[in-house]
Amino acid sequence: MKTPKLRLRRKATPKSKSTVFQPPGTISYVGEERDGEVTAETILYDKDHYSKQYGIFLDQLKEDRVNWFNIDGVHDIDLLEKVGSKFHLHHLLLEDIANTTQRPKTEFYGEYIYQCIKMISYDTENNELNEEQVSIILTQDAVITFQEKTGDVFENIRDRIENSKGRIRSVKNDYLFYALIDSVIDHYFIAVEQIGDYLDQLEDEIFEEPQKDSLNKAQRNKRLLLSLRRAIYPLRESISRLLKEDSTLIDSRTHAYFQDAYDHCIQIIETVESYREINAGLRDMYLSSVSHKMNQVMQVLTIVSSLFIPMTFVAGIYGMNFEHIPELTWEHGYQYFWILNAIIFVSLLGFFRWKKWL
């Protein structure tokens, strides 16, 4: 008889402004207000078997297979408590899952390991960083993932499991635990690369033709890089802890893969820091570029003024109201005036070019 799945449709609890007055371990949702449907999937597999069902079927857990329970939506407190009861999860851990403002961290609870990580994607059209908290729990018999909403970066892992690509079907829960973390880290590289491309475009814009909004773009980029830094720095510490702590849940052969993930974190951190330096230099570049443009304008205006000052001087002399100015009686005095002005203009223009001021 097929086990009925847990009821998943539930409205979100309104966003909590503060939980400081609640007793420790009180589970209350903290995050963006959501009223969407909570969805889930159950994936069971080993080397020779694979099954996937939409819904969370906790009673189908098999000790001889890898059991992956993925839940999209942490605002259903009743569902969190049911999952926590099934796997004997600590109430403080459930509180952390429901609080989507957690700092990335790793916690060891003896019979299971809790990993909090930030899943990040970059919106190239709006130049925004989309951040979502993912909680990954490794137990002896299962891997449980909690996400804030539907949509993630784990499609490649699902495809590898379903089509038996690589070694993922021949290993245990700890490797799936690693693969999920590694998938999130790999997408950091994509976000960082896209931010780097945007920085290159902004740098070219500021260098060639700075706009009024260029400085604001650099400021927004500063906040993006800061958010990315806040996500990756604690993650480096978390993976370092996974490498140092001895746990029967993680096979010694999987440690090498966590070392690779740790190296990727270091690489991302170095790239983010270099981008932060580049972005900080864009402000100085913008001010220098604007100042250079202003100097060019002032140079042109100064040269134009210098060209017309002698002509203004000549016109001023012959515009005086004296009766006896000899040249005023010349028959071709007007023509001579313009010839003299033309000679002065060409002579000054040649002089400026010789001095390389033009």
Asked whether 35 and 11 are in contact (CB, 8 A), the reply is: yes
Domains of the chain: 39-289 (3.30.460.20), 296-354 (1.20.58.340)
126-185 residue pLDDT tens: 888 889 999 999 998 899 999 988 888 899 999 999 998 888 988 899 999 999 999 999
Out of 156-165, 254-263, 288-297, least confident range: 288-297
Contacts (Cβ under 8 Å, ≥6 apart) of 358? 303, 349, 352
| Average pLDDT for 75-104 | 90
6-60 residue pLDDT tens: 434 344 444 444 455 566 667 888 878 777 788 899 999 988 889 999 988 888 8
Three-state SS annotation for 11-42 = CCCCCCCCCCCCCCCCCCCECCCCCCCCEEEE
189-239 residue pLDDT tens: 999 999 999 999 888 888 888 787 888 888 888 888 998 899 999 999 999
pTM of the model: 0.77
